Structure 1
């Protein structure tokens, strides 16, 4: 897909959609693969089918009951049964109301059901319980981005990056929001930083995604590109 030349005074939409797929957790060890999404050139439905998401578990806080519920959620999530995952997560939260991770994952399940406001509420609760939850701030940003609420999204991405300046996915999301608000230089700078981070982590798929986005943004204003 080629991008059209960027208007000089209007918001632009250089990508077919802002998709949220799997994010590798950074800065909250030892969680892995927890968030509903990162930027991709595919729809959420396509990504969910191609990359089943796994529910992370925090070592040191597990009980057999906690692990069992999370395993059930994981299975439902991988099957694309986000409503079922939501129901199990609500049961989980009743048993573990102070578990920030449970609220965060409930936000993920709600987001996948296209309920961004409900998702944001769950992410906010996770942050209340764990104030340095960079992933939750990033996820709130993505929920705002899904509604084209770019300035609000930018605010949340900045909060995530204040906690973890090397959070590659937040840098990428921030860059796309900046591009949507006609701040090309800031977008390119953030993408270059994200690219270097992903390269240092040997994350080839993310490197390829960011390189593709960089190429499209850099060529968007070239004469004859449409």
Structure 2
């Protein structure tokens, strides 16, 4: 029955089977990641920040390059009073995606909570400059108002 099979057919069949297996694996991994991510969101909404932290860390273990999860983990860590760890999460996003304005805003918030106003101001200024470069004048103006409030509180 298999006498007429040529080696090229075997290679092609092997390639197809391997592709299907890889597709199945990545689909399964995506489904697992999505489920854990949703659990993290639900924990966060219910203010179960310890549960959210566990879920978001698990998602990062499955997919370490997901910036949204790093930002959400940082937000969760702030709620738990783990400011240094939150700062690390925000900084990691900035290092990987230096034009991600939300990471700068969250980092500035963490610095304010630590009463590091100079670092907060510098970070907000970077966010404002990014907004202007990305043609988001309304957001840049909002950041300017925040910077003015911080400056008035120092006076």
1:103 corresponds to which of 18, 36, 51: 36
Query: 1:156 and 2:117 equivalent?
Result: no
Q: Secondary structure at the match of 1:220?
A: helix
* Greater RCO (CA < 8 Å, at least 6 residues apart): 1
Provide TM-score, normalisation by structure 1. Answer: 0.51
Shift >4 Å, 4+ stretches:
none
Question: Which is higher, the Rg of structure 1 or of structure 2?
Answer: 2
Indicate the residue corresponding to 1:196 in structure 2. 129
> How many Å apart are 1:197 and its aligned residue?
1.7
1:179 corresponds to which of 99, 112, 116: 112
- What runs of 5+ residues in structure 2 fail to find an aligned partner? 1-26
Indicate the residue corresponding to 2:53 in structure 1. 120
- Deviation per CA, 1:8-41: give whole Å up to 9, x if none: xxxxxxxxxxxxxxxxxxxxxxxxxxxxxxxxxx
Provide TM-score, normalisation by structure 2. Answer: 0.71
The structure that is helix-richer by fraction is 2
Using the alignment, how far apart are the partners of 2:134 and 2:34 within structure 1?
A: 24
Give the stretch that moved more between structures: 182-191 or 196-205. Answer: 196-205
Please give the residue correspondences for 1:1-226 in structure 2 after superposition, counting only pairs within 5 Å: 96=28, 98-99=30-31, 100-204=33-137, 206-222=139-155
Indicate the residue corresponding to 1:11 in structure 2. none
> How many Å apart are 1:200 and its aligned residue?
2.9
Q: Relative to structure 1, is the Cα distance of residues 212 and 101 closer, same or farther in structure 2, using a 3 angstrom cutoff?
A: farther
> How many Å apart are 1:141 and its aligned residue?
0.8
Using the alignment, how far apart are the partners of 2:142 and 2:78 within structure 1?
A: 18
Q: Relative to structure 1, is the Cα distance of residues 207 and 109 closer, same or farther in structure 2, using a 3 angstrom cutoff?
A: farther
- CA RMSD in angstroms comes to 2.2
Using the alignment, how far apart are the partners of 1:191 and 1:149 within structure 2?
A: 21
> How many Å apart are 1:208 and its aligned residue?
4.0
